[in-house]
Amino acid sequence: MTSHATAFTIACLQNRADNTDRGLDECVDLARAAREQGADLICTPEFCHRLYIDGDVFETGAAAQGEHAAIGRFRSLAAELGAWILVGSVAVREADGSRRNRSLLIDDEGAIVARYDKIHMFDVTLGNGETYRESARFTPGEYAVTADTPFARLGLSVCYDLRFAALYRALAKAGADVLTVPAAFTHTTGKAHWHVLLRARAIETGCYVVAPCQYGLHGKARTYGHSLVVDPWGEIIAEAGEDAAVITATIEPARVADARRRIPALDHDRTFEP
């Protein structure tokens, strides 16, 4: 774990994207409000730019990274505000035509300093007509990513990754003390699993978990909201409702080390036969 002694303020933005620029405009307004509240690092949800689902229509506003209007706007915004921004994810089109669900970390001068392509694709059938096949539209990533900031080392992930504990254990062992989980969690699964999974990932790793989530309707899909910040002991220290919101929390890196001293589970892994 990297050593960061100074507490800092993190913000989760909770917006609702559709098939227009509405979501992006809302994010920009919320980010300005977060900075006014003292946020040093501002985090947006998954597909914060565009998200619209209606049957076979799945609109996420994919574009090449260098030409992506939302990425350019977030870079300018970070420089304007003098704050770091984690763009939870946007849809990026690669040169070969494939698409990635990509999270981007932007520094306070507007430079992209890290990127993570979502590894686990949301291919599920929930019943009641809710079926999602993310792999039909996106190519999964292959690498876990940590990123250093002046405040803490981040471990990057996106939404459905949350269900795969091994990823977060690997990020923690690579030095992450804050795990980011930007999401567009469905309302169905959010009610059942969102809080318990986020708290479990914090407890298992001794990390802070920061999880901005979209809210409301996106065509016929509905997301859960309830953006959360969870401390390394598994306590929820900030939570939004199911509408547009900014939540902030104080992150104290020393508490990561303290939680791991009290329960050093990351040091106790053993190999075993299945």
Return the domain boundaries, the chain.
Answer: 8-263
Task: Enumerate the active-site residues.
Answer: 46, 118, 159
Percent of the chain with pLDDT over 90: 92
* pLDDT at 56 (0 to 100): 77
Closest CA to 1 of 199, 144, 207, 235: 207
* pLDDT at 1 (0 to 100): 39
Cα separation, 102 vs 157, in Å, equals: 9
Whether 98 shows a pLDDT value over 90: the answer reads: yes
* pLDDT at 55 (0 to 100): 79
Residue-wise pLDDT for 139-167, tens only, equals: 999 999 999 999 999 999 999 999 999 99
Mean pLDDT of 17-26: 97
Homologous superfamily, domain 8-263: Carbon-nitrogen hydrolase (3.60.110.10)
Q: Which range among 93-107, 127-141, 181-195, 202-216 shows the weakest confidence by mean pLDDT? A: 127-141
Question: At 127, is the pLDDT very low, low, confident or very high (cuts 50, 70, 90)?
Answer: confident
Which element (helix H / strand E) includes 101? strand 99-106
Mean pLDDT of 210-223: 97
**Average predicted confidence (pLDDT) for the chain:** 96
CB-count burial class (<10 Å; 0-12, 13-18, 19+) for 257: middle
Question: What's the one-letter identity of residue 98?
Answer: S
Phi, psi dihedrals of residue 9, rounded to the nearest 5°: -110, 130
Tally of residues, the chain: 274
Whether 128 shows a pLDDT value over 90: the answer reads: no
Residues 6+ apart with CB under 8 A from 43: 10, 11, 12, 13, 85, 86, 88, 180, 182, 210, 212
Mean pLDDT of 72-83: 98
Residues 6+ apart with CB under 8 A from 183: 45, 46, 88, 158, 159, 162, 211, 212, 213, 214, 223
End-to-end, the C-alpha distance of the chain in Å comes to 30
Whether 3 shows a pLDDT value over 60: the answer reads: no
* pLDDT at 5 (0 to 100): 62
Mean pLDDT of 246-259: 97
* pLDDT at 4 (0 to 100): 63
